[in-house]
Structure 1
C-alpha cells in the first residue's frame, strides 16, 4: 500500500526548493509514494514544481497585501474559494499526510487536513515563526524547525530541530571553482562576487550593484549577478560590454555559482542562509525589511553575533553595499573567519531526517 503525501505552500524559492528536497527524500525512501504539490496560481511553484517532475494543483488565493489595502477587498472571497478547491483536492487524493512549507497556499490545505484528522506536518524555516504556522502548529502532528528556542511559537513536545532542507544539487555538489567559473565564461584567475537577491530579485541590492558596477572592474573583481525578472533588462543593459560581469534573471545551476564565488551578497531568507552555511562562503547579508515580523533581520543578526556573516541594512545598501563587499573580497583573514564560523552551522541531511520522521509517523 503506497503512501500519499501532499506538500503545500510556495510563493518564493525559499519555500519551493525545500519542499522539492523533502519530496525527493520521501521518494528515495519509498519509491512508490504518491506525491502531490498544492500551490498558488500565478506563483513560481506552478513552473518550478513540474520542472522537478511533480504534479501540482493551483489554488485561487492571494496573501494579505500590506502596501495597498484596497487590493485586499477580494481576499475573503478568494479564501473561501480556495477552501472549496482544497476540499476537492484532498477528497480526491486522499492523502496520508500533508506537509506545509510556508507561503499562504499552505494555510487552507493544512487547516482542512486537520479538520479531517489527517496527519499534518509543518516545516518552519525561519527563526521567527509566521502567524499562520503558529495557528496550525497547535494541531500539527510534528513541527520541524531550523533552530532552537522555537518553543515560544510551538508546543515543545511537537518540535524537532532538523535544520533547513537544501537542494541536493547544492548539498552534494562536486563542482570545482574552475568548473564553476568556466560555466559562467569568467576568468579562472580572478576573485569573484556572487550576488543573489532571492528567486524574485531584490530592488535595493540590484540598484546598489548597478550604481557601483564599474568599481568591480577597478578592483579586479568579477561579478555573477542574479537580478530576478523585474530588474533583468536593466541589469543586462548595465553589464553590456563588461567582460567581468555575468548577469541573468535566474541561476538554475546554483551549485556552479557557489563554486565560482569567493564572496557572496544575499538576502537573509532562511533558505539562502542554509545554502550559504553549507557551501561555507563569506557573505554580506542585506535583509528584506518588509518580511513578516522582520524575520530576515533576525536571521542575519544570528549570523553576525556568531561572527559568521556581515550585514548591511536595506536602507543603507546604496551607500555601503559595494564598498563592504570589495573590502571583504580584499580581506583574506576576514573571509577565513566568516567561512569557518558559517560552516559550523551547515546541515546537509535535513530533507532525509524530515522524510524519515514523516514516513515513520504515517505508518504507526
Structure 2
C-alpha cells in the first residue's frame, strides 16, 4: 500500500462509527497508521471502544445541523471550532488522506481537509446517499458505496461500489449452524437442538418497541416446532420474559450481546430492522429475513436498504405500520411449514455480500492516490 497515514472521521451514530473503526483496524493490520476523529454525544464512549482495539481517537467539536436560527448558529460555531482543532491534528499527524463516513460530525474535518489540501474520500452506508455526503462530494476524490444507489448522478465525485465494512470478529471463523448452537448452549446454559428451526428477532439499539410488541411466538407453539433467540434492547427484557412464562419451546431472551455471529449462524429465519450494517450482515451470512424498516430513519433510508435484498427472494419487507402480531404469526407459520425452503432462499443473499469491504475501500484510496501522483 502506497499511503501510510489515514484519518477516519466517523463520529455520530454507530452506523458511522463502527464501519469507520473497521476500516481503521484493517488499515493498521496492513501496516498503516490510523487516527479517528469523533464528534457528537457518543464520542466519549466511541473513543474508549476505539482505544480498546489499539486505535487512536480524538474528540472534536461537532453539533447536529439544523435550520432553526439558534441551533444553526451553534452548528456553525461548532464547525469553526472543530475545523481549527482538526487543522492542528492534521499538522501533527500529516495524513495522506481523510476518509469521511458522513454525518454532521464530518463537517469540521472536511473543512480542515480542504484548507490543508489533504485528499478527501467519502463512504456512505445506505442505498440513499446522506445529505452530508452529497454536500461534501464535490470536494472528494471518490465516494465508496455500500450498495448500488439511484443517487449516483447527484454525487459530485466518482461513486465506487465497495460494500459496507463490518466488524472483523463477525466474519472471522464463522461457525457452522451446529457449532453456533453448541456455543450458545454452553454460553447461556440453553438446551437448543440442532434439528429444531431457530428464529432470531432483534430491533437494534433503536426502534425495538414495535418488534418486541408484535413479534411474539404464540404460547401454544409446540416444544419441537421452533427455538427462539430474541434481543429485546436495553430495559425491555423483563416484559418479554414475563410474557413467555410457561411457554414450552426453548428461548434465549437477552437485552443485547456481542455474539451476533453465533446468532446469525444458528438462525434459520430472522426478523429485524434494515440498517446498512444489518442488511450487509444478512447478506454475508445468507439468512432469510423479514425486514421491518425503522419508520423514523432519515429519508426513510431503511426502506431503500431493505429493497436491496428483496428482489433476490431472500428477504421480504413489512412496513412498521403494517407489522401486527397477526401478520407476524402468519409469516411465522409459513416459515414453519418448510424451514428448509427458507434456508435455501436465504443463501441467495450471499450473492449480494461484500465480505472484504474494508479492504476494498483501502484499495480504492490507494489506487486513486497512486494515480494522482503518476
Distance 2:235 2:60 in 1: 24
With over 3 angstroms needed to count, the CA separation of the structure-2 counterparts of 1:318 and 1:62, relative to structure 1, is: farther
Shift of 1:354: 0.7
2:98 aligned residue: 98
The match for 1:220 among 225, 230, 240 is: 225
Shift of 1:201: 5.1
Q: Is 2:38–2:105's contact at 8 Å kept on the other side of the alignment? A: yes
- Structure 2 counterparts to residues 152-167 of structure 1, below 5 A: 152-155=153-156, 158-167=158-167
Distance 2:19 2:76 in 1: 25
Distance 2:350 2:71 in 1: 46
2:174 aligned residue: 174
Shift of 1:271: 1.3
With over 3 angstroms needed to count, the CA separation of the structure-2 counterparts of 1:76 and 1:222, relative to structure 1, is: farther
- Superposed CA RMSD: 2.9
Distance 1:284 1:293 in 2: 21
Residues 1:356 and 2:363 aligned together: yes
List runs of 5+ in structure 2 lacking aligned partners: none
Larger radius of gyration: 2
CA deviation map 1:75-97 (0-9, x unaligned): 53155235313421342244332
1:80 aligned residue: 77
Shift of 1:3: 3.0
Q: Is 2:63–2:78's contact at 8 Å kept on the other side of the alignment? A: no
Give the number of aligned pairs.
357
CA deviation map 1:303-337 (0-9, x unaligned): 22332311111012233234323422432364145
Q: Is 1:134–1:153's contact at 8 Å kept on the other side of the alignment? A: yes
Shift of 1:291: 1.3
CA deviation map 1:111-151 (0-9, x unaligned): 33223321111111211111111001111121111233442
CA deviation map 1:193-223 (0-9, x unaligned): 11122244522112223x5463666673222
CA deviation map 1:51-110 (0-9, x unaligned): 3332322345443589xx8xx954531552353134213422443322112333123322
1:271 aligned residue: 277
Distance 2:237 2:301 in 1: 27
Shift of 1:47: 4.7
Find the residue that maps to 1:214 and give its secondary structure.
coil
Shift of 1:259: 1.2
2:200 aligned residue: 194
With over 3 angstroms needed to count, the CA separation of the structure-2 counterparts of 1:360 and 1:302, relative to structure 1, is: closer
Q: Is 2:37–2:60's contact at 8 Å kept on the other side of the alignment? A: no
**TM-score normalised over the length of structure 1:** 0.86
Q: Is 2:145–2:160's contact at 8 Å kept on the other side of the alignment? A: yes
2:24 aligned residue: 23
Distance 1:287 1:110 in 2: 30
**TM-score normalised over the length of structure 2:** 0.84
List runs of 5+ in structure 1 lacking aligned partners: none
1:13 aligned residue: 14
Q: Is 1:180–1:256's contact at 8 Å kept on the other side of the alignment? A: yes
1:135 aligned residue: 135
Find the residue that maps to 1:152 and give its secondary structure.
helix
Q: Is 1:59–1:82's contact at 8 Å kept on the other side of the alignment? A: no
With over 3 angstroms needed to count, the CA separation of the structure-2 counterparts of 1:103 and 1:176, relative to structure 1, is: same
With over 3 angstroms needed to count, the CA separation of the structure-2 counterparts of 1:333 and 1:35, relative to structure 1, is: same
